[in-house]
Chain A
Amino acid sequence: MKDYVNPYIPFTATVEEVWNETYGDRCIKTFKVVLDDAAVRESWSHRPGQCAMIGLLGVGESMISISSSPTEKGYLRFSVMRAGKVTSALHQLEAGDKMTVRGPYGNSFPVDDWKGKEILTIGGGIGQAPLRPIVEYVKANLSDYAGLTTIYGARTSGDLCFKQEFAETAKVDGVCCHLSVDIEEEGWPHYVGFVPSLLMEVNPSPENTIAITCGPPIMIRFVLENLKKLNFADEQIYTTLENRMKCGIGKCGRCNAGNLYVCKDGPVFSYAVLKDVPEAFA
């Protein structure tokens, strides 16, 4: 009888560092984790945009985007909003604690095909987590790309993730960072307004540019509209989707949008594909 590899077995990993990105009821924490087994650690390889099932035995697993870039070696980063049972339990973890990791799963951003192009990311709230590996990857390989522009916003400055990193990224030659908050606040030096409006303000040229967006569904809808107004072709626009998942490997059934399984066919899709998928923005 054939000896099967059991794809439901998770790796164990140790939380090396954990910190709050945001505070409040639905706060976001970033976990920097190291896979325990040296052989697993060495053979692990992921591409920007891929996800992993992370969790705790006795609680469950959630599909979370890997927010570190493959250029950041030796560890994985996950930025997790406290929302349900699994993420609340994960939020209790401290440095030294264990979690489980399965993956990497799904497709990835076609970063090789994008060489020579200007990369534009447009994120909102926790939606910056799947965009972070793109930002870090392009930043680390900047000579391969025509440039990098990031647009990122949240409701308030307290709801922005990776603030310190953006301050550092903004200093890099060939990189432009634009931040926004929805509501006016004292001492805020950047844009005030919604992300789709900031996009119009930045007014990027569609020429030789790839735009990648992730954020709340309502933001994605208006960003897509505005990118079309700016004459971006469908093929130049990418997004990542999420849906409820259990297995992460195309079996359990629930994460499909039309005939596409977000866990296997996605999570990365070009708008050229998605615009014809009936449930893509449901």
Chain B
Amino acid sequence: MSAMLLNKEKWSEFIGKLSGKNLWAPAVQGEVKKYAPVAEGETVELDEGNTTVPPKALLFPQTETLYRFSTGKEELEFPGLDEEMVLLGVRPCDARAMALVENLFRWDFDDPYYLKRRELTTLIGLACNEPELNCFCPSMGGSPDSTEGLDILMTDLGESYLLETVTEKGKAIVEEMKDLLEEAPADALEQKEQLAKGAREKIRRGVDPDGVPEALPQLWEDPLWQRISAPCLGCGICTYLCPTCYCFDIQDEIEGSAGRRCRMWDSCMFAEYTKHTSGHNPRPTRRERTRNRINHKYSYFVDKFGVIACVGCGRCSTLCPVNIDLIDILRQVKAAQ
């Protein structure tokens, strides 16, 4: 892993060079912070905190066309999946989520839509110096400076950014930017280690997930599910904005003789999600749906892929309109064991 230094005086030049590469970076739009395209000539200001909408939305759009068709024509038309993309300022938890979700999209049947976008995307991460209130990534095996899933990890050192190269894709970017960069001195690396240590110490919340995957099947009929789901409104925000949630619906849209088959985010917290055509619903209430959500993340995904499908970003707890808190749920699971 090579380490380079980017003096902030050269930041706008750095952004200028990147913006020719279909660059996306966090931007505030109304009440939400989400990734937005950076036009040439625009600048980017990276601040602390994470985006409301995780960058999963760029690899797995909220709605995307699988293919287009028109009546009387046998050939299907496919969306071009050939545009390279650079994501700047990706938080380590969100990059790690992309690496986890890739397991699912590679499971026996490769999903070309997700996997091609993933291959075409370079992730330039930003280590968290100031974790947020509900951050708990270390509990889930991550850290504020984790490089998992990233191509480059940047750390804000105040006057400059430290750029650590993780992958070949990252190396190519650093190579192109080399005129703006200088070799990182030893004290810069030392400063980064101190910042990362400080960030870990600033994380106030956490829960040890040890034993949770094993406990969950035993707690199937436990009253805790009733208790946890009682205030739930079924709004689905905990899943829509979860960086590891990937469930989708497939729908056809047709206008005149042309149409498209598209897929869009779905949520296990919605009644329709599992409702049979007959009207029977194997998960009839929020109790069963909440139980599935937690079991899926902390038990089923572990069975299939050997890792918990949660990165501890804290969005579900922060955004829940009735304050259902994931750490609290996990603590209740552990207590009921």
Interface residues of A (CB under 8 A from B): 1-2, 4-9, 12, 57-61, 83-84, 87, 217, 242-244, 246-247, 249-254, 256-259, 264, 278-279, 282
Report yes or no: A259 in contact with B304, Cβ–Cβ below 8 A: yes
Q: Is the interface of A mostly helix, strand, loop or mixed?
A: loop
- Chain B's closest residue to A98 (CB) is B74
| Bound CA–CA A98/B91 (angstroms) | 48
Report yes or no: B112 in contact with A6, Cβ–Cβ below 8 A: yes
| Bound CA–CA A256/B116 (angstroms) | 26
Contacts of A8 in B (CB 8 A): 66-67, 261
Contacts of B217 in A (CB 8 A): 258, 278
Report yes or no: B252 in contact with A1, Cβ–Cβ below 8 A: no
Report yes or no: A251 in contact with B282, Cβ–Cβ below 8 A: no
Contacts of A7 in B (CB 8 A): 109-111
Q: Chain B: how many interface residues by the 8 Å CB criterion? A: 51
Contacts of A242 in B (CB 8 A): 276
Binds A, one of B141-149, B188-196, B227-235, B241-249: B241-249
Report yes or no: B250 in contact with A254, Cβ–Cβ below 8 A: no
Report yes or no: B248 in contact with A1, Cβ–Cβ below 8 A: no
CB within 8 Å of A: which B280-310 residues: 280, 282-283, 288, 292, 295-296, 299-300, 303-304
| Given A57-B261, A58-B254, A59-B252: A278 and B115 interface contact (C-beta under 8 Å) | no
Counting CB contacts under 8 A, is B29 at the interface?
Answer: no
Report yes or no: B66 in contact with A60, Cβ–Cβ below 8 A: no
Contacts of B11 in A (CB 8 A): none
Report yes or no: A61 in contact with B283, Cβ–Cβ below 8 A: no
Contacts of A279 in B (CB 8 A): 282-283, 288, 292
Tell me which of A9, A250, A282 contacts B283 (CB under 8 A). Answer: A282
**CB pairs A–B below 8 angstroms (25 shown):** A4-B111, A6-B78, A6-B112, A8-B67, A12-B74, A57-B259, A57-B261, A60-B251, A83-B278, A87-B277, A217-B280, A243-B274, A243-B282, A250-B104, A250-B108, A251-B248, A253-B266, A254-B266, A254-B268, A256-B300, A258-B295, A259-B295, A264-B107, A278-B217, A282-B283
Report yes or no: B112 in contact with A4, Cβ–Cβ below 8 A: yes
Tell me which of A2, A6, A83, A251 contacts B277 (CB under 8 A). Answer: A83
Most buried by A among B259, B275, B278, B303: B278
Report yes or no: A243 in contact with B249, Cβ–Cβ below 8 A: no
Report yes or no: A259 in contact with B300, Cβ–Cβ below 8 A: yes
Report yes or no: B247 in contact with A282, Cβ–Cβ below 8 A: no
Tell me which of B119, B248, B278, B282 contacts A246 (CB under 8 A). Answer: B248
Q: In the assembled complex, how far is the CB of residue B295 from the closest CB belonging to chain A, in whole angstroms?
A: 8
Contacts of B248 in A (CB 8 A): 246-247, 251-253
Contacts of B274 in A (CB 8 A): 243-244, 254
Report yes or no: A251 in contact with B273, Cβ–Cβ below 8 A: no
| Bound CA–CA A87/B109 (angstroms) | 26
Given A244-B275, A251-B246, A251-B248, 6 further pairs, Cβ under 8 A: A8-B261, A83-B278, A244-B273, A246-B248, A256-B292, A282-B288
Q: Is the interface of B mostly helix, strand, loop or mixed?
A: mixed
| Bound CA–CA A244/B270 (angstroms) | 13
| Given A87-B277, A244-B273: A250 and B109 interface contact (C-beta under 8 Å) | yes
Report yes or no: B300 in contact with A258, Cβ–Cβ below 8 A: yes
Report yes or no: A84 in contact with B283, Cβ–Cβ below 8 A: no
Q: In the assembled complex, how far is the CB of residue B82 from the closest CB belonging to chain A, in whole angstroms?
A: 8
- Chain A's closest residue to B254 (CB) is A58
Contacts of B74 in A (CB 8 A): 12
Contacts of B263 in A (CB 8 A): 246, 252
Counting CB contacts under 8 A, is B14 at the interface?
Answer: no
Q: In the assembled complex, how far is the CB of residue B12 from the closest CB belonging to chain A, in whole angstroms?
A: 32
Q: In the assembled complex, how far is the CB of residue B264 from the closest CB belonging to chain A, in whole angstroms?
A: 10
Q: In the assembled complex, how far is the CB of residue B169 from the closest CB belonging to chain A, in whole angstroms?
A: 12
| Bound CA–CA A282/B116 (angstroms) | 37
- Chain B's closest residue to A105 (CB) is B109
Report yes or no: A253 in contact with B115, Cβ–Cβ below 8 A: no
| Bound CA–CA A8/B110 (angstroms) | 10
Contacts of B277 in A (CB 8 A): 83-84, 87, 244
Contacts of A282 in B (CB 8 A): 282-283, 288
| Bound CA–CA A258/B304 (angstroms) | 12
Report yes or no: B247 in contact with A254, Cβ–Cβ below 8 A: yes
Report yes or no: B282 in contact with A4, Cβ–Cβ below 8 A: no
Counting CB contacts under 8 A, is B120 at the interface?
Answer: yes
Q: Which 5 A/B pairs are nearest by Cβ-Cβ distance? A: A253-B247, A4-B112, A84-B277, A282-B282, A259-B300
| Given A8-B67, A252-B250: A257 and B109 interface contact (C-beta under 8 Å) | no
| Bound CA–CA A256/B304 (angstroms) | 12
